[in-house]
Amino acid sequence: MKTIAIYSILFLFTIASILVSKNYSVDMSKVPNGRYLGVFNHGKGYYNFTYKAMVEVRNVEMIKIVPVRMPNRASNKIAKNAFYKMIKANDINIDATTQASYKGVVHNALTEQSSFDEYYLN
């Protein structure tokens, strides 16, 4: 009986995660070659975290995504894995379980197109 309850809770959690995950989209054909800084703020108050990443685009493809600032080492490791999948697929929406923070930071880099190089020169 406990096993059924646990599996039911896991199933409902998975469905809820899919329903609330934001579907970010970027038209890569409109992103010029360059290196862009993405910033994504998540949470409020004490639990406010800032995510930063550098996204390099060449010939309509993401060729490199590097975490610049993550809340902790675990987030950094998860980010690297998610970014690898995004590069491989050339798409932000790689799966339903990837957290919005990692999608958001890459989405913001590609849509706002803030120069990564200018950020570090100033």
Report pLDDT digits (tens) over 6-53: 655 544 444 444 434 556 788 999 999 999 999 999 877 777 889 999
Residue 12 forms part of a structural domain: no
Which residues neighbour 22 within 8 Å (Cβ) at sequence distance 6 or greater?
A: 100, 103, 104
- Over 80: is that where the pLDDT of 68 sits? yes
Q: How many CA within 13 A on the CB side of residue 46?
A: 0
Q: Which domain holds residue 83?
A: 24-121
The whole model's pTM is what?
A: 0.75
Percent of the chain with pLDDT over 90: 49
Residue 78 forms part of a structural domain: yes
**Residue 81 has what pLDDT?**
92
Residue 101 forms part of a structural domain: yes
Total domains in the fold of the chain: 1
Q: CA 6, CA 3: separation in Å to the nearest integer? A: 5
CA 5 distance to own-chain centroid: 32
Q: Is 6 exposed, middle or buried (0-12, 13-18, 19+ CB in 10 A)?
A: exposed
| For residues 60-67, average pLDDT | 96
